[in-house]
Chains A and B, each alone.
Chain A
């Protein structure tokens, strides 16, 4: 008989490792680390059950700073490392920490496949739209025309949009937050942790050395009410300092409308994060500041689907039920054999 002992009460400090944090002063990563440490004690898990896996890049130093189990792996491969771990050990809570270069460029393939399998991982992609650790080349999320060391005449690549990619791969949980919006960020990470299946979170994160101010429009207290839109399940899409603007659907196109003068809340698009159909979530992921839209933050999509780590272990159970627990003697002696005297 087992006795459920109460979990020790943990504090954010219990999740701090003894290592000096070595990000550049002013880096957005500090805030994400702080919010992660704040969320950890609320998960109801002992810290030995939590594992952080990262790839390469500034963000990927993250596991060293968490007093949990962790692995700083290789470029872009964190989702694959995490897949092996989680497949064997569904009891662990596994976080993947990645950046826009790590996750979408060199590791784009693994990211897509972890998501489509619905492996129970929490993937946090720090998006600063630049390569920080290699000192300032453009990244897969850099806007076209971006001038960097490797693109002195401006980037001619079209950018990827992380949430569109995730939704395209049928992610069951997709959210966005902003490094400086700490309350929102903590809530978003908590929701991701609670989700069963792949949770994909994009965090707008500032690189103050190589791409300072990339997200200023979404962070500046004077503009953010007009440039971002906080999603709430079941609520209409309303934004603006005076909450007087909304998003209406015009055919298949979202349209910014002014409330009043004949347009009521009921005319607006209502957010349904649980919609089985991902098209509206995809449409939201395509609303961009440069196209005149507010950029949604919060949970775009949260649906339940079977998880890979459950299913692969269920198959083992099923096979064991059908054939009994594997017996070597039986295996060796089954089929055609012969005796030599």
Chain B
């Protein structure tokens, strides 16, 4: 590209960009394109999409603001960033809700269209913030009427005004692409693939994208381009992955490598639906996706699929998991292997459907009637979903038990680079089904015992269709060995204790808890799930400041790793940051009688690194 004006280039280690506008303005698309382009450019990336529950809230209102944040870096990064270096605001409502996150001296790009009386009123501005020079004092402000510029760019392509205006997100993208010297190629390929069948729309998007890019290149006032070098990631081939996609691919891999068909019984719910959508694309992997009539049918059809001998999975979110409770009890007492995924979101009830929370831990631990233990595993990041879900399947099969798998909206919709594994390196789960019994008419001949147990206390997984193994299972208490219905008091207690011992015994088959940092010191930060990245970064920062702080991130929440109690004992204090009111802390306190300190935030937002660093310092000083 020709450079009309002398422009400077500044090198940065990392940057955080946020696009925000009306839901419907295409901010998620802009963010995704910028992420992919940055990943392809070799940066480490972490993203945070944040959108309203309403599909189209009234235009111009604060309720309808949709945002997408991307943190990209030449270093290893774990979070989408605390503060924003460059903010693109498409209207007054987006500006007023997002401006507090823009760092002092940051770049502010504003679409001045809609900064009229009505738009300002809807956003709650009493006067036009673009006037008076207040913003210019704090930020590098660039104002332009993107709507008008986009209309000019697509003029002559025969688009309606509405169609033309829909291209303005591509203008914004082009501008930011120029700012960070990103290639337009991946997005041009995307436009071709996505809009190829509507050539006039494709042409218009290309025109808007290039107009945005050239605007940065040619217009005065844009003096600096920023370069973020490639990250020094471990060698290998990478792709960008979102959490729900990684989860779906992990399921596909686990099924394929254990020679099972994959059955997903699911009912649509945010933010879990994308697992169903992704799996429905991969039917040629012998994947059966069943969109059930409700959550109860989703879980019970999954139990039917597990009885059938296949890899059976159901996926939902908190309110759906509540409905699945009775079915999960049946899965526990029938001792069938299956996975129940809970992509957590804000609760209670419908709560904050599109916002993240970690508040279903106690629900999945205890939310069933009776003594009903289930193993619980939690993913730590989008790409970790791929590995952790395969581990969940191993446990389900080896111990003949339903397994709970926890992620959350932040992990599910967030993305990061995923190093593509060698298929030969992936774990193989060995599935054993009992063979037919030797044929005998002898009265004393051994009979099939559906509730006999192996050394892990797992019962045999005999599948319908196998001759001589006919048996009946169900929700009434089972007699030991035979599986016949039994009301015998001593047998009931024995079975309750056996099922509990089986789940507790999983601790013998999982790794001991690892710790990032010295294995003793002043403070141990314990995290689980989505806050992994923020906690890891915060602890690294605190360590660099000279503090004796270490970090333990739990993948296994039930049972806990065997050394966890002893590990906590080697630190003077234990801090547990959670996006809830202290659910893991409650479990750690009751299990280990440790005086764990909570750091809790329940705002539908992930932790910022800075606030955890602050908390660490506060705890160390007290």
A interface vs B, CB < 8 Å? 17, 19, 46-49, 51, 53-54, 56, 63-64, 66-75, 77, 80-89, 91-92, 109-110, 112-113, 312-313, 315-316, 318-320, 322-326, 328-329, 331-333, 335-341
Decide if B470 touches A332 in the complex (CB within 8 Å).
no
Decide if B285 touches A83 in the complex (CB within 8 Å).
no
Decide if B300 touches A74 in the complex (CB within 8 Å).
yes
B-chain residues with CB within 8 Å of residue A17 when the two chains form the complex: 472
A-B contact pairs, 7 of them (CB 8 A): A71-B334, A77-B327, A80-B304, A326-B286, A332-B421, A337-B237, A337-B238
Contact with A along B24-60 (1 / 0, CB 8 A): 0000000000001001101000000000000000000
Decide if B263 touches A338 in the complex (CB within 8 Å).
no
A-chain residues with CB within 8 Å of residue B465 when the two chains form the complex: 48-49, 69, 89, 91-92
Q: In the complex, A85→B234 CA distance in Å? A: 44
Q: In the complex, A80→B285 CA distance in Å? A: 24
CB distance from B350 to the nearest CB of A (A): 20
Q: In the complex, A81→B263 CA distance in Å? A: 13
Pick from B109-117, B289-297, B371-379, B501-509 the stretch touching chain A. Answer: B289-297
Interface size class of chain B, counting residues whose CB lies under 8 Å from the partner chain: 35 or more
Decide if A80 touches B305 in the complex (CB within 8 Å).
no
B-chain residues with CB within 8 Å of residue A72 when the two chains form the complex: 472-476
Q: A63-B474, A337-B420 are in contact. Are A81 and B301 (CB under 8 A)?
A: yes
Decide if B288 touches A316 in the complex (CB within 8 Å).
yes
Q: In the complex, A329→B252 CA distance in Å? A: 12
A-chain residues with CB within 8 Å of residue B608 when the two chains form the complex: none
Contact of A74 among B231, B261, B285, B326 (CB under 8 A): B326
Closest to B422 in A: A329
Decide if A70 touches B237 in the complex (CB within 8 Å).
no
A-chain residues with CB within 8 Å of residue B283 when the two chains form the complex: 315-316, 318-320
Decide if A340 touches B234 in the complex (CB within 8 Å).
yes
Q: What 10 A-B pairs come out closest when comparing CB atoms?
A: A84-B304, A72-B474, A326-B285, A84-B301, A319-B283, A85-B304, A80-B297, A88-B308, A69-B464, A84-B305
CB distance from B51 to the nearest CB of A (A): 23
How many pairs of residues, A versus B, come closer than 8 Å at their CB atoms? 209
Decide if B40 touches A336 in the complex (CB within 8 Å).
yes
Contact with A along B222-250 (1 / 0, CB 8 A): 00000000110111111110000000010
Q: In the complex, A329→B237 CA distance in Å? A: 12
B-chain residues with CB within 8 Å of residue A83 when the two chains form the complex: 290, 292, 297, 301, 304
Q: A77-B300, A80-B297 are in contact. Are A88 and B263 (CB under 8 A)?
A: yes
CB distance from A307 to the nearest CB of B (A): 14
Q: A71-B473, A72-B476, A328-B252 are in contact. Are A77 and B297 (CB under 8 A)?
A: yes
Decide if B288 touches A88 in the complex (CB within 8 Å).
yes
Q: In the complex, A221→B604 CA distance in Å? A: 69
Q: In the complex, A84→B330 CA distance in Å? A: 15
In the complex, B198 has a CB within 8 A of chain A: no
Q: In the complex, A47→B472 CA distance in Å? A: 13
Q: In the complex, A63→B473 CA distance in Å? A: 9
| Chain A CB within 10 Å, residue with most, of B285, B329, B485 | B285
In the complex, B395 has a CB within 8 A of chain A: no
A-chain residues with CB within 8 Å of residue B138 when the two chains form the complex: none
Decide if A332 touches B420 in the complex (CB within 8 Å).
yes
In the complex, B186 has a CB within 8 A of chain A: yes
Contact of B284 among A54, A77, A91, A324 (CB under 8 A): A324
A-chain residues with CB within 8 Å of residue B252 when the two chains form the complex: 326, 328, 331
B-chain residues with CB within 8 Å of residue A319 when the two chains form the complex: 283-284
In the complex, B484 has a CB within 8 A of chain A: yes
Contact with A along B70-110 (1 / 0, CB 8 A): 00000000000000000000000000000000000000000
Q: In the complex, A74→B464 CA distance in Å? A: 19
B-chain residues with CB within 8 Å of residue A82 when the two chains form the complex: 304
CB distance from A315 to the nearest CB of B (A): 6
Contact with A along B276-318 (1 / 0, CB 8 A): 0000001111111010111011001111111111101000000
Decide if B284 touches A92 in the complex (CB within 8 Å).
no
In the complex, B469 has a CB within 8 A of chain A: yes
Decide if A81 touches B300 in the complex (CB within 8 Å).
yes
Q: In the complex, A333→B545 CA distance in Å? A: 41
In the complex, B466 has a CB within 8 A of chain A: yes
CB distance from A249 to the nearest CB of B (A): 36
B-chain residues with CB within 8 Å of residue A318 when the two chains form the complex: 283
Q: In the complex, A30→B308 CA distance in Å? A: 28
Decide if A69 touches B472 in the complex (CB within 8 Å).
yes
In the complex, B15 has a CB within 8 A of chain A: no
Closest to B334 in A: A71
A-chain residues with CB within 8 Å of residue B142 when the two chains form the complex: none
A-chain residues with CB within 8 Å of residue B484 when the two chains form the complex: 19, 64
| Chain A CB within 10 Å, residue with most, of B36, B186, B309, B471 | B471
Decide if B474 touches A73 in the complex (CB within 8 Å).
yes
